[in-house]
Structure 1
Amino acid sequence: MFTGIRTIMIFAEDPEKTARWWGNVLDTAVHTDVNKDNGDVYAWLDIAGGIEFGFHPLDEKRNKRGASPVPYWQVTDVEAARQRLLDAGCTHHRGPHDVGDGTGRKIAQLTDPFGNVIGIDGF
């Protein structure tokens, strides 16, 4: 029945601008769809593993900024990925922290320039 994660959706004040920033950081194309009834833009990136990383217009009544789970990117080098995100305009939120499983795995959280908290997970 449940076969995996298909989409990670972030609620953003400006979905297209947010998606273009992430598209630049991840070096991948941005796709958009405009709602013909109200002009709202849904923007997304197709990333590894067939996952859609989407950005939907926020709605302070139903889908507030930060009211969603924190997506964690799997990375090969937490420190290098963290520095790349900081250099691109993210700010420190939490970590890096050792997961404590004895493998050296670490996690960290950063806030992108649009107020979304994003995690990174790796070694």
Structure 2
Amino acid sequence: MLRGLTTLSFYADDLTAARSWYAEVLGIDAYYAFPAEGTPAYVEFRIGDYEHELGIIDSRYAPADRPDQPGGVVAYWHVDDLQASLDRLLALGATLHLPVTEQGDDSGFVTASVVDPFGNILGIMSNPHYLEILAARTQARTEATAQHTS
């Protein structure tokens, strides 16, 4: 039924500031804005190995029952260096939500989360499973390319 993450949506009272902040965090600008002219109500970034989408919506369009405090689901993004990523987010103005936490035994799953300057929870994670899947897909593409060029 669920096939994969497509778009994660955050809300921000100041969409222009949120767009700038996330452009700084991600090292890229949003690839899409709606409307294209004038002040947007929605911007979207494509992120990482699978180009997952992070959308930021003007909070005027948030559901009426949206809580005033951060809460709910935390989506975790894989990062290669958890502590360095956490330190950078904090230096850019995020606040600590949950500290670096080992999940379970010595499996390598380690998480942390921050609240961005716009009130959204941003989770980061060292995730060995993510790296295994990425390596397997990279290997499959390499093998397919080799077969195609033979």
User: What TM-score, normalized to structure 2?
Assistant: 0.69
Decide whether aligned partners of structure 1 residues 21 and 69 sit closer, same or farther in structure 2, where only a CA change above 3 A counts.
Answer: same
2:120 corresponds to 1:119: no
User: Where in structure 2 are there 5+ consecutive unaligned residues?
Assistant: 128-150
The match for 1:82 among 78, 83, 86 is 86
Tell me, in whole angstroms, the C-alpha distance in 2 between the residues paired with 1:2 and 1:103.
25
The match for 1:61 among 59, 64, 67 is 64
Greater fraction of residues in strand:
1
2:74 corresponds to 1:70: yes
Shift of 1:69: 2.6
Tell me, in whole angstroms, the C-alpha distance in 1 between the residues paired with 2:33 and 2:40.
10
Give the 5 Å matches for 1:1-123.
Answer: 2-30=2-30, 31-34=32-35, 41-48=41-48, 49-58=50-59, 59=62, 61-64=64-67, 66=70, 69-122=73-126
Greater fraction of residues in helix:
2
User: What TM-score, normalized to structure 1?
Assistant: 0.83
Shift of 1:22: 0.7
SS at match of 1:94: strand
Decide whether aligned partners of structure 1 residues 83 and 51 sit closer, same or farther in structure 2, where only a CA change above 3 A counts.
Answer: same
SS at match of 1:80: helix
Shift of 1:120: 0.7
Tell me, in whole angstroms, the C-alpha distance in 1 between the residues paired with 2:63 and 2:116.
19
Letter of the 1:19 counterpart: R
Question: Kindly, what percent of the aligned residue pairs are identical?
Answer: 29
Decide whether aligned partners of structure 1 residues 99 and 122 sit closer, same or farther in structure 2, where only a CA change above 3 A counts.
Answer: same
Letter of the 1:50 counterpart: E
Cα deviation 1:19-48 (Å, max 9, x = unaligned): 221111110121311299xx7610111112
Q: Which has the higher contact order (CA 8 A, sep 6+)?
A: 1
Letter of the 2:123 counterpart: G
SS at match of 1:95: strand
Decide whether aligned partners of structure 1 residues 28 and 68 sit closer, same or farther in structure 2, where only a CA change above 3 A counts.
Answer: farther
Larger Rg: 2
Tell me, in whole angstroms, the C-alpha distance in 1 between the residues paired with 2:2 and 2:73.
18
User: Where in structure 1 are there 5+ consecutive unaligned residues?
Assistant: none
Matched residue pairs, number? 121
Shift of 1:16: 3.2
Over 4 Å off, 4+ runs:
62-65
